[in-house]
A and B are shown apart, each in its own frame.
Chain A
């Protein structure tokens, strides 16, 4: 064998490769020309094969020896197989084309997953890290090449032993082939074939690899590679397990899913919000509990050691009564639960824990943390909102991806069915909402009217609150003793009455507006929010008044204290002068009113009573009502279940607002009552269970189940607003009201924040304090603030422009899709018209027939039919393209094929299917010449024998 021969062979092979890939590309680009293209490569391949054989013979002439005979035998066997393959080549044509398609499709995935899978499979897959061929070879090309390459490589290995220098190129080539084979083996499992076929293909490929792998002398870095693959696999598995673990850690997932499946995502959104709140409160609780309450309880001075840590003598008798404790006074008041218990010692315990500093930082930090979390969640939700274009396939996704294949339990399956039905209903409501056409003027008028009415209600209730609060202040000034029960409880009663009736009023008003339920919910939320703000406002006003009163009182007490001390000294010194420090029981020491503890108590009481009202409302309003309706329905004169009382619906707006305002209370009060987050955690925890139970057992789903917006940013916005509002009074009290002189960690200071400067002075080197002093002077801070404002402005502007660009792009995409659709439609219509002319009298029976044929053509007949088709050029394209949708080698689908390229010049398949051509027509009259599909269809139709299953 000569060098020239070799090189020509190599070139030939290369040519073939290139051609193959070229064909491939063109196929991908234009499905229509497939047939013609396919015809060419085959002839060329045959040619190449011939040449190969020729070359082989030359080889044999030039060589001798027993080895060669072995080779010859081997080769002849192979050739025999090749011949067999060739004989069945035309038979196999469709199957190969199909493989080809499948190969293309799965190739990308293959390449991604190969690494992962490599180590797993059997033999020889470990060394496929060699360069992958960039050109994507179709399976058919591969198969053909394989045959050729076997011969070629046979000769290559022949010559390898004799002519070392030449084999380099050949070897590389062979290597590539082996790589390819291995890749095929590795990716075999990705092919949508039947197992039998996979097995046979596998065997073939393995034989090939086995034969020629030894010649390559590969497998040196095998172990290391296998190790690497194994490690990546392990890592992936770990990641997945971790992911699973993380999802398993999310509490109440199943409960919420169950509720969602029965009541829709809007109700579930409330529970998700509740769970989110629970998470935040857990962290707040952790902060206050771990950094304030526990250190004080463990390391602080024990109970009874100081006046502030002792129940005063007057209250001692009732300090342990349940009523007193329930009111959070008595013993509870003088415990770690409230501000007043903490001592102003700078450090406590052997750890030198800086209690006042910690208290201050925890108070500030929990508010800061809340701000951070809320804004971050809002930003994330906003991202989610702006991100995907998920509305485009809403229904399709619901239909095709909603079933969870994991479900293996009838109850879960029931839930899933219910949830899928609900989600469909939601989507249908949305759809109908968007389709609705109404009298726009009437709607507008009604909406304006509704808003006017709502505003009137709000203004009225606002004035009422204002009026009542003013009156109560007046009463308080004059002394409450002169007035009766009504005057004393006027504010509370008015507030709760307003809170009870106004939401219903808003509900009635909102029925005027006729909004989509989701938007209506927002309006409702907004209105009730405004109403509740009044509540908050009165509460804060009342508190401020009380604080002022206490401050006045404090002055008097301070004055009295000095008198009392003086009298103490005067009275005791003469009697027993042996004890210089006078021992007075701390319970007897007179003390100031300690307004901070009072504020904390107020908040705690409010939260607890709020919790009780909620629970009692649930029990009476939902549970008892449901029981009544359920059991008295048997003996009542009208239908209770569908008539007047009926079962209650879940009140989303009320519950959400209750939660939000409750959280506001927590934020405001937790500085003065460190126990508040703990109470709130308890409340949220119990209400999660109680409300889940109540919803599932006594509520009915809303009449119009609607989908909550995926991100409940509206809730978040309200929460942020409330957070801001509740921060204001807290910060105001911290910054501008002097702390009580005899209770709390900041007693003795003129302002609470002085604890910071004190710490700086004592615990940090002096230069730090200096630096801090410089940094905090207005000359530096003002420019800094200015810079921040500027950067905020800049970021805001850029984000806006990004958003706009995003929208623009989305619009463009959409319009492009529309355009494509329209063009396709036009084309379809055009070709329909063209088609209709010759067959005006061809009605639906033909179609039915065509469809039936498609359904029923069994394997072998299909092959036969296609064999016949294969002889004609026109028969090819539909096979090639229909093969994409096929998995089995057998069934032939005459006339149905998917579009190869969207919006390309190929007429959409609608022609073929919606109006199948007359099966018995022999000719192809009236078909446009440049359209190979249509004529192809025609003869294809009748050929499949009508075998019905």
Chain B
């Protein structure tokens, strides 16, 4: 990574810096990360913003996401067409939200989207069941799962409609003691992010 980079124009970089929580360097690193996923697909010159999309299989195999039970949902939520395939913009967007600097309302908003499997803007019982099963790798019995889901709805559903809206979700999650840690843990994703490409580039 020299001082002169020809990947982006200065305006592009500035714009990305304004639109994400990253510095110039981080954006470049992220670009290299993105490019390393498929060097043959991604050109080294992005000044004309070519329409390159990486398939979900590549995105999901990143070490940051590989072991995450929600990786598919994350990719889907951040991809432009909801299919998990990502452009560089989507990619930057994703890691910007997952970075430590992102405010928690933003995080809560995207967390809600991630847990909302059927995209109906409510987390309903089937969404919850999916979440529990992913979190526990199907190790709970169906009765236990449904008990847990019922409890969650009972606890967090303020307006009593049997499912969680974004308002319910935010009301609940902002009070979570771990939510701060949740944010902090997200940082490290980007910390890794920062270190890994360095290694590849040296």
Binding site for B on A (CB under 8 A): 105-106, 108-110, 112-113, 116-117, 120-123, 185-186, 188-192, 194-196, 198-199, 202-203, 206, 388, 390, 392-410, 412-413, 417, 420-421, 424-425, 427-428, 431, 817, 820-821, 824-825, 828, 851, 854-855, 882, 884-887, 891, 893, 896, 898-899, 902, 908-910, 913-914
- In the bound complex, do residue A882 and residue B178 qualify as a contact, i.e. CB atoms below 8 Å apart? no
B114's nearest neighbour on chain A, judged by CB, is A400
B160 x A824 contact (CB < 8 A): yes
Q: Is the CB of A417 within 8 A of B166?
A: no
**Cα distance, A469 to B115, chains bound together (Å):** 67
Task: Enumerate the 8 nearest inter-chain pairs by beta-carbon distance, A residue then B residue, closest first.
Answer: A910-B161, A195-B89, A109-B103, A413-B67, A898-B165, A122-B14, A406-B188, A395-B151
State the CA gap A887–B110 with chains docked (Å): 9
Flag B131-158 by CB within 8 Å of A: 1 or 0 each: 1100111011000100110011001101
> Of the candidates B148, B163, B172, which one forms a contact with A428 in the assembled complex, judged by CB atoms under 8 Å apart?
B148
Q: Let me know if B161 and A908 touch, CB within 8 A.
A: yes
Contacts of A884 in B (CB 8 A): 166-167
Residue of B nearest to A105 (CB): B105
On chain A, the residues within 8 Å of B8 by CB distance are none
* Interface flags, B7-22, vs A, CB<8A=1, else 0: 0000000110111110
A389's nearest neighbour on chain B, judged by CB, is: B175
Q: In the complex, are the beta carbons of B14 and A123 less than 8 A apart?
A: yes
Chain B residues near A198: list those with CB within 8 A.
Answer: 19
B90 → A minimal CB distance (Å): 7
A893 & B121 in contact (Cβ 8 Å cutoff): yes
Q: Can you list 9 contacts pairing A with B, beta carbon distance less than 8 Å?
A: A192-B106, A396-B172, A399-B131, A424-B132, A887-B109, A893-B121, A898-B165, A899-B167, A909-B161
Q: A402-B178, A824-B159 are in contact. List 5 more A-B contacts (CB 8 A).
A: A188-B19, A196-B80, A413-B67, A424-B144, A825-B160
Flag whether B176 is at the interface (Cβ < 8 A).
yes
Residue of A nearest to B21 (CB): A189
Are A914 and B162 within 8 A (Cβ)? yes
Supposing A401-B182, A409-B67, A420-B135 touch, asked if A120 and B173 sit within 8 A by C-beta, the answer is: no
**B interface residue numbers (CB < 8 A to A):** 14-15, 17-21, 23, 63-64, 66-70, 80, 89-90, 92-93, 96-98, 101-106, 109-113, 115, 118-122, 128, 131-132, 135-137, 139-140, 144, 147-148, 151-152, 155-156, 158-163, 165-169, 172-173, 175-179, 182, 185-189, 192
Residue ID in chain A nearest B182 by CB atoms: A401
With A and B bound together, what is the CA distance between A403 and B93 in angstroms?
21
Contact of A910 among B23, B113, B162, B169 (CB under 8 A): B162
Measured CA separation A421–B92 after assembly (Å): 33
Name the one of A122, A406, A407 contacting B17, with C-beta atoms under 8 angstroms: A122
With A403-B68, A893-B120 as contacts: A408 and B167 at CB distance below 8 Å? no
- The SS class assigned to the B binding surface is helix
Q: Which residues of B contact A896 (CB under 8 A)?
A: 120-122
A117 CA to B118 CA, complexed, in Å: 35
CA–CA, A4 and B167, complex, Å: 47
Which residue of chain B has its CB nearest to the CB of A902?
Answer: B158
Pair B89/A190 contact, Cβ less than 8 Å: no
Query: With the chains together, A828 CA to B136 CA distance in Å?
Result: 34
Which chain B residues lie closer than 8 Å to A117 at the CB level? 21, 101
Given A106-B103, A417-B136: A189 and B96 interface contact (C-beta under 8 Å): yes
Query: How far apart sit A307 and B160, CA to CA, in the bound complex (Å)?
Result: 85
Q: How far is the CB of A657 from chain B (nearest CB, A)?
A: 31
Q: Chain A nearest CB: distance from B188 CB in Å?
A: 4
A202 x B122 contact (CB < 8 A): no
CB <8 Å contact, A393 and B155: yes
When the two chains form their complex, are residues B158 and A824 in contact, meaning their CB atoms are under 8 A apart?
yes
CA distance A891 to B64 in the complex (A): 29
Please determine whether A402 and B135 come into contact, CB atoms closer than 8 angstroms: yes
Least Cβ–Cβ distance between A215 and chain B, in angstroms: 22
CA distance A109 to B187 in the complex (A): 18
- Nearest-CB distance from A902 to chain B (Å)? 6
Contact yes or no, A393 B158, CB < 8 A: no
Contact check, A400 vs B176: say whether CB atoms are below 8 A apart.
yes
Nearest-CB distance from A705 to chain B (Å)?
A: 13
Knowing A113-B103, A199-B19, A887-B109 are in contact, say whether A395-B144 is a contact too (CB < 8 A).
Answer: no
Beyond A420-B135, A913-B122, whether A396 also contacts B156 by CB under 8 A is yes
Query: A400 CA to B128 CA in the complex, in Å?
Result: 9
Instruction: Let me know if B144 and A913 touch, CB within 8 A.
Output: no
- Once the chains are docked, how many angstroms separate the CA of A394 from the CA of B150? 12
Q: Which of A393, A410, A828 contacts B176 (CB 8 A)?
A: A393
**Alpha-carbon distance between A137 and B91 when the two chains are bound, in angstroms:** 30
Inside 8 A of B160's CB, which chain A residues have their CB? 821, 824-825, 828, 908, 910
* Contact B121–A882 (Cβ < 8 Å): yes
A908 / chain B contacts, CB cutoff of 8 Å: 159-161
- A405 — which chain B residues lie within 8 A by C-beta? 68, 98, 182, 185-186, 189
Question: Smallest CB–CB gap between B72 and chain A, Å?
Answer: 14
